[in-house]
Amino acid sequence: MLLAGGLGGQLQAQDTHVHGFTDVRFSTGARDSSGFKLGQLALFVTSELAPGFSFLAETVFEYQSDFVVDVERLSVSYQVAPWLRFTAGKHHNPIGYWNAAYHHGTLLQPTIDRPIMFLFEDEGGVLPIHSIGLMASGRDISPLHFGYDVLLSNGLGATPAGDNDANKALTVRVSTQATSALLVGTSGYVDRVSPGVVQPGGGTLGEAVQIGMWGGHAVYNGAHLEARVEGQVMTARSASAGTRRANLGYGYAGFRVGEFVPYARYDALAIDVGNPWLDVPSKHALLGGLRYDAAATVAVKGEYGFVRESGRTKNGLSLQVAVGF
């Protein structure tokens, strides 16, 4: 609980909470780098600033040749009503379900790593995971519990200091909590990427590319069964390459028996040859694992999986202890 000076010298209560997440891992095999590893240390801060106004920040400490600090989310929100909330700042882009539901605390997600389609940008990801802009959102609209997010943001190639061109990206997501256990939704994204922007895969665009994406998701959380299925179709069009398509998706299923959840996940990235934006190969992956939810603040996960890419198959074992505090 913090005290802040209000107008006229009046003091107001400011309700601030700080939480943290981290994990420690061990991997062996070619699917991932071998040995003991430190995961991200994520500090998560929320604060009720004033009636209707709130603040959120997620800061990550991680190792990339040396320890670095990244501000992954930072936003100020104003709640007009349950059906209308404005949020300005850096967001996890509301593409599909996983990216908006699970952030940098691996304790909260059902598997050790994110699906391949939702890997972070600095981990080889192919989607715009983070975006800076203004979002309007609403929840629990009508008896069908409709929800929506509309994000107008800087486009691909932008930095926290500003956009790299005059183009803006638009993301729209609509969903319904059809039952207490079932959520279904759809989302879309459009952007025009300027020459000179670094592509997924490390290349540099030589000409403008028009990006379009649409997809759907379904999430089920029952007493025992948990499942997530998502797919996105991305089109990339340039003057020289024409239109190329990429189909991205994953399917996850787990079955809870007490504190234990055996699970499996399949990932697929099917990318047309000559794609003017995605300078990465197609890949498919399959993993099976076991999660032990020791407490709300501790999860132990073990996985064995395969990744097929560029005609080669890599397999390996990974173990993780994820905590929150």
Q: What is the pLDDT of residues 169-186, one digit of tens each?
A: 999 999 999 899 999 999
Over the stretch 250-303, which tens digit does the pLDDT of each residue have?
999 999 999 999 999 999 999 999 999 999 999 999 999 999 999 999 999 999
What's the CA gap between 309 and 30, in Å, rounded?
12
Q: Which residues contact 181 (CB under 8 A, 6 or more apart)?
A: 220, 221, 222
What's the CA gap between 160 and 75, in Å, rounded?
13
Tell me whether strands 168-176 and 182-193 are parallel, antiparallel or unpaired. antiparallel
Over the stretch 109-118, which tens digit does the pLDDT of each residue have?
999 999 999 9
Predicted confidence at residue 72, as pLDDT, reads: 96
In degrees to the nearest 10, what's the CA dihedral of 253, 43, 93, 111? -10
Query: At residue 9, what are phi and psi to the nearest 5 degrees?
Result: 80, 5
Predicted confidence at residue 4, as pLDDT, reads: 45
Across 22-31, 62-71, 73-82, least confident range: 62-71
Per-residue pLDDT band for 244 (boundaries 50, 70, 90) equals very high
How much is the mean pLDDT over the chain?
A: 94
Which amino acid, one-letter code, is at 174? Answer: V
Q: Is the pLDDT of residue 19 over 50?
A: yes
What's the CA gap between 114 and 99, in Å, rounded?
9
The two three-digit tokens of residue 123, written as one number: 């981990």
Mean pLDDT confidence for 182-199? 97
- Determine the 3-state secondary structure of 225 from DSSP: strand
Q: Which residues contact 108 (CB under 8 A, 6 or more apart)?
A: 21, 102, 324
- Length, in residues, of the chain: 325
What's the CA gap between 46 and 87, in Å, rounded?
13
Predicted confidence at residue 2, as pLDDT, reads: 46
Mean pLDDT confidence for 188-214? 96
- Determine the 3-state secondary structure of 107 from DSSP: helix
Predicted confidence at residue 14, as pLDDT, reads: 78
What's the CA gap between 294 and 275, in Å, rounded?
44
What percent of the chain is predicted at pLDDT more than 70? 96
What's the CA gap between 59 and 70, in Å, rounded?
6
Q: Which of 37, 51, 181 is nearest to 113 (CA)?
A: 37
Predicted confidence at residue 12, as pLDDT, reads: 55
Predicted confidence at residue 178, as pLDDT, reads: 85
Over the stretch 223-240, which tens digit does the pLDDT of each residue have?
999 999 999 999 999 999
This prediction has a pTM of 0.92
Query: At residue 65, what are phi and psi to the nearest 5 degrees?
Result: 70, -30
Whether 83 contacts 52, CB under 8 Å: no
Over the stretch 85-111, which tens digit does the pLDDT of each residue have?
999 999 999 999 999 999 999 999 999
Whether 53 contacts 76, CB under 8 Å: yes
